[in-house]
Amino acid sequence: MKKLLLLLGLISISSLTFAQKSPCKSDICVVQFNAGWNSSNDVEWVNDLGDCGVKYIDIATDTDSQDLYEIVVVPTIIVFNGKEVKRFQADISFAMKATKKDVQEVIDEILMDQF
């Protein structure tokens, strides 16, 4: 019985880790996490995405967000719909390889699923 309770506790904790709530007020929100020292790799097209809110968080000054959203590489883009839906991370050179089209497709899929 103790092992079962321990297992259930671990499952609860891990599900909290991967189901982070959105830091935005809008339903569908795209958040770019980056750091000032990596500003040359800011993803400028994020502001051109449609049908969503957009937010920028600098993890160099907001270390709580870095921990809360488990940001390990910058930039990281997370699409939220109340909770995390999809995460796009930079490669080893700290540059984002995902495209505007990749992220917009996730947003469009969320919108289509609402019908």
Q: What was the pLDDT predicted at 11? A: 40
Given the candidates 3.40.50.300, 3.40.30.10, 3.30.70.2190, 3.10.450.40, the CATH classification of the domain at 2-113 is 3.40.30.10
- What pLDDT sits at residue 19? 58
- Number of Cα atoms under 13 Å in the Cβ half of residue 45: 9
pLDDT of residue 25: 73
CA 69/CA 57 separation, integer angstroms = 11
Confidence at residue 42, expressed as pLDDT on a 0 to 100 scale: 97
Ranges of the chain whose pLDDT falls below 50: 1-18
